[in-house]
């Protein structure tokens, strides 16, 4: 049996790093990870989506969409959710 790593499978089925299809995949994955991190932090703090939404003056459905998708989120809104809603600090890293 030929066992492949996740990286090898990504290269084979999505494309090698640097290709347009792989770049898009990695962007979508990063968006999903932001949503997962926000959801995990909310759960760790024992907050409901409704409670978090109230803290940042948004609707529960907005929080749900962010947690399940994470895309189309402004830095201002992300900072507001992290800092005001969850009591944390937002750190953004730029890689070149």
| pLDDT tens, position by position, 19-55 | 999 999 999 998 999 999 999 999 999 999 999 999 9
95 vs 41: CA distance, rounded Å? 24
| CA atoms lying within 13 Å on the CB side of residue 17 | 2
Overall average pLDDT of the 55-59 stretch:
97
What domains can be seen in the chain, in order of their start residue?
Answer: 8-85 (1.10.260.40)
The answer to whether 34 touches 81, Cβ cutoff 8 Å, is no
pTM: 0.81
Structure tokens, 24: 């898009």
Beta strands in 15-94 (DSSP E): none
The answer to whether 25 touches 35, Cβ cutoff 8 Å, is no
Q: In which band, very low, low, confident or very high, does the pLDDT at 69 lie, cut at 50, 70 and 90?
A: confident
């Amino acid at each position: 049996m030929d066992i492949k790593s996740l990286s090898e499978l990504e290269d084979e089925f999505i494309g090698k790093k640097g290709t347009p299809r792989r770049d898009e995949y990695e962007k979508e994955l990063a968006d999903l990870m932001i949503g997962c991190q926000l959801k995990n932090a909310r759960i760790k703090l024992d907050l409901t989506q409704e409670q978090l939404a109230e803290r940042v003056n948004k609707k529960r459905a907005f929080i749900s969409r962010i947690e399940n998708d994470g895309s189309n989120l402004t830095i201002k809104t992300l900072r507001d959710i992290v800092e005001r809603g969850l009591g944390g600090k937002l750190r953004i890293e730029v890689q070149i």
